Amino acid sequence: MSAPIAISRTAPIAIAARRPRPEQSLETPNSQNNSHTNGRTHLSASMSSTASEAGTNIRSRKDRPCDACRRRKSRCVINEGQTSCVLCQFHTQDCTFVQSPQPRKRKLNTEGKEESSAKRRSPDRADERRRRPTESSISSTGATNSLVEEMANIGGPTLLKRTLGLQNDRYSQYIGPTTDFEPSLIDLSPFDPQDESLLSRGTLRKVSDVDTFLMLPDYTTPGYEHVIDDADAIENIVAPHGPALLELYFRIIHPNFPILQKVVFFEKYNRSYREFSPPILAAVYILAINWWDHSEELVNVPKPDIEELERLARVTLADAMYRPKLSTVQAGLLLSQRPEGDQWAPTAQLVAIGQELGLHLDCSNWKIPPWERGLRKRLAWALYMQDKWGSLVHGRPSHIFASNWAVQPLSPNDFPDVEFDESDVEESAEYEHGRLLFTQMIILSQILSEVLDTFYTLQAMAAVTQAGPQGTHLVLQLAKPVQLKLKEWFAALPQVLRMDSSSVTVNSNKLCSTGFLHLAYFATEITLHRRIIRSLSSAGTNPSSPSSPNTKPALDPYIVHICRSAAKTRLISAMDFVNRLNTTHLRSFWYFASKTNFALIGTFGSLLWATAPGREEAEWYRRRLGEYRWTLGVSSKGGGAEGGGNARLTEFAMGMLDTSTGLLKSLPEKPALSRVGSESENLGGTQRQRSIAEGYGYGYNTNGGGFGIGAARDRGDGSVGSYVDRDVDTDNGLNMKSGLASPSTSVSSSGGSAGGYEAFSAPPGSYGARTREEGY
């Protein structure tokens, strides 16, 4: 075995550290400022002095923030030996304590949430931790009291090895069960108190009884020598606007996509931008530039060279993949949220890197700092969502399978609890809203995964084809449990995530990102119903294909009727939802899949148009799609300034809709079918047909439509089963008025359209919903 080689440590990576304790120094020596010897001496002295002065308060006026932090509604952090807080240093301004504190506003206790929140963020518990700095906690979700782990949290140069995925001079590789490393032999290796064992090939790091990693040095990887130069080049492109861009990112994007840790990011940026991995620095800037006009400081100055910034992001991310760390996954996920940043191949690379880092494993009991356990879980689920929604929008097989996914659901303690002033009700509510949004999007993504696995794998599609005329029956049987899960998901949505609960008004400057969650819900519904409608054609009931009048349908006409009725209500509801979006939604952060999800609504309408049994119904879908395109055009203008913000959010959907409707021009002319000839003629034996339908979980109502997969509809519960289209049974829905405002149509819907989106989201009078007198 070769002797250990001393490897110099450079500046630590910026992302994913827990906020350090006030009594410990946050000064981290780097290659530009301090020697490594001085760093180790400083760290040792800090540990000694902290142990002997545990009860000393190093922050003046500890019970109140400085004037600037109070106005900014941010947590005020003053490091040891400093007279100014971190954010005042960051903004290069005086740190004063002149203004009198304002009386605190307390949020009413709602369903016990305030009590549980206080337990997690109690100042008394924080003071207790400061009084006992040498005690340690092994909880997988609680905050640590260990001085050693806390020093690791701030990226100390000696104890940074206590982390696993964010060491600045080493990267980790998960040792799988079938590699050339035999687990039984690994257990024979001598491990030191840091759970490491030095081998000639690298250093083994054991994080649990069954999970081991191989730690390798960064300096041997391609591009390592350019890291500092790359960081300088990225910062020079945006200078002097870097701080303003960070303010934009953490105000608009971060609350709804919490894969970074705000306080640590600002602290490290204040010391030096060189402490960041270049691709994560570039990714944050690139996303923030989309909201350039939302900053008073930036709105009147020229934007930086975004193309050069994106080029550097791609180059540095490719280099970082040779030494993968958690920051590599963070950068890749953020870059994928760009308007034109989503591509399938990079998603596959990110999944592979995540597996290299062990993100697919259960880290609940790993011997790593608690903050890293929470960060790993958030990153793992963000990667899961990227894979599943990428699979949907690109039509590719997913890379993540349930059989190799052991990540536990997120809990409140997996989110950092020091990113906002908990005494500020508005800011606390905003962050809580974002965390709920992130968590519910994860749950919806799991349902989407089930839809894709059940209906869109090669094996699943082959099974329906092989079933022949019985294919639709097979699809309906498989669809019922998935539809029930969607219904339960929506029914369980927290009130703050419902579109009608938003306090945002059209003229408000506050942005609301709830829209992308509801759009994703409609996309999941549409994906399910697209498979049902397709199965009708495979069962030999394609209405667009000419057939003999005496030909007996292979599928009961009643089943065809209710399948198309249910699909129609979903389409109407989705279009009405898009029509209700205003600028506070359109200018907010939208998840990367939203661009395609808008397009899927138009694609679904085109499918229903192509498969319509008669000329009248086809004409109705043509008009409705024309109205939807008009709405998309208006929405693109509300997304932001030209070339910025979300101006391009709906442009892709408009282009895709033009393509689909263009293809429909070559559709053979459909026959003019009367209501009797097209439906009632073949609907004999109502009781028999009703039994068949109810066997697949369809609701039936003799007074109108209201067909939906799942249990019999319960009007008003807001679930997908409560959508109603009363005109479907009276005139096949062909005379229904539009629910979309357009130059050529009335802004109204039938009662059925109201049941569509009004029951789903907004009761009359809220969130811009029309009153029933106006047609909603």
638 pLDDT exceeds 70? no
710 pLDDT exceeds 70? no
Q: Mean pLDDT throughout 361-381?
A: 93
State the CB neighbour count (10 A cutoff) for residue 56: 11
What angle is formed at CA 38 by the lines to CA 193 and CA 10, rounded to 5 degrees?
70
Q: What is the pLDDT of residues 457-491, one digit of tens each?
A: 999 999 999 998 899 999 999 999 999 999 999 99
pLDDT at 72: 66
Q: Mean pLDDT throughout 205-219?
A: 94
Closest C-alpha among 664, 676, 646 to residue 293? 646
Q: What is the pLDDT of residues 214-227, one digit of tens each?
A: 999 999 999 999 99
pLDDT at 670: 85
752 pLDDT exceeds 70? no
Q: Which residue has the higher pLDDT, 420 or 708?
A: 420
706 pLDDT exceeds 60? no
Structural tokens at position 79 = 């490091």
Structural tokens at position 62 = 């500890």
328 pLDDT exceeds 90? yes
Binned at pLDDT 50, 70 and 90, residue 37 comes out as very low
Q: Which residue has the higher pLDDT, 292 or 140?
A: 292
Q: Mean pLDDT throughout 386-412?
A: 96
Given a contact cutoff of 8 angstroms between Cβ atoms, the answer to whether 193 and 159 are in contact is: no
Q: Mean pLDDT throughout 378-386?
A: 97
Q: What is the pLDDT of residues 56-97, one digit of tens each?
A: 333 444 457 888 777 766 777 777 667 888 777 766 778 888
377 pLDDT exceeds 50? yes
25 CA to centre of own chain: 34
Cis peptide before 370 (omega within 30 of 0): no
β 212-217/170-174 pair status: antiparallel
Q: Which residues contact 174 (CB under 8 A, 6 or more apart)?
A: 211, 213, 355, 356, 357, 358, 361
Q: What is the mean pLDDT of the chain?
A: 74
DSSP conformation class of 18: P
Q: What are phi and psi of 512, to 5 degrees?
A: -135, 120
149 pLDDT exceeds 80? no
Binned at pLDDT 50, 70 and 90, residue 565 comes out as very high
Ranges 136-140, 248-252, 416-420: which has the least confidence: 136-140
Structural tokens at position 668 = 């053979």
Cα distance from N-terminal residue to C-terminal residue, the chain: 77
Q: Mean pLDDT throughout 272-283?
A: 93
Binned at pLDDT 50, 70 and 90, residue 500 comes out as confident
Given a contact cutoff of 8 angstroms between Cβ atoms, the answer to whether 464 and 538 are in contact is: yes
Order of strands across the sheet with 170-174?
170-174, 212-217, 203-206, 196-198
State the CB neighbour count (10 A cutoff) for residue 338: 17
DSSP 709-765: BSSSP-TTS-SGGG---TTHHHHTTTTPPPSS-BTTB-S---HHHIIIIIHHT--TT
3-state SS, residue 173 = strand
pLDDT at 172: 95
Percent of the chain, pLDDT > 90? 47
pLDDT at 411: 93
Q: Mean pLDDT throughout 218-242?
A: 94
Ranges 421-430, 470-479, 510-519: which has the least confidence: 421-430
Closest C-alpha among 341, 514, 508, 496 to residue 429? 496
Closest C-alpha among 664, 520, 662 to residue 598? 520
Ranges 30-34, 168-172, 594-598, 649-653: which has the least confidence: 30-34
Structural tokens at position 343 = 């591509």
Q: What is the pLDDT of residues 298-322, one digit of tens each?
A: 999 999 999 999 999 999 999 999 9
Q: Which residue has the higher pLDDT, 228 or 751?
A: 228
Binned at pLDDT 50, 70 and 90, residue 647 comes out as low
pLDDT at 639: 59
pLDDT at 740: 35
424 pLDDT exceeds 70? no
Q: Which residue has the higher pLDDT, 142 or 103?
A: 103
Q: Which residue has the higher pLDDT, 136 or 641?
A: 641
pLDDT at 147: 33
395 pLDDT exceeds 60? yes
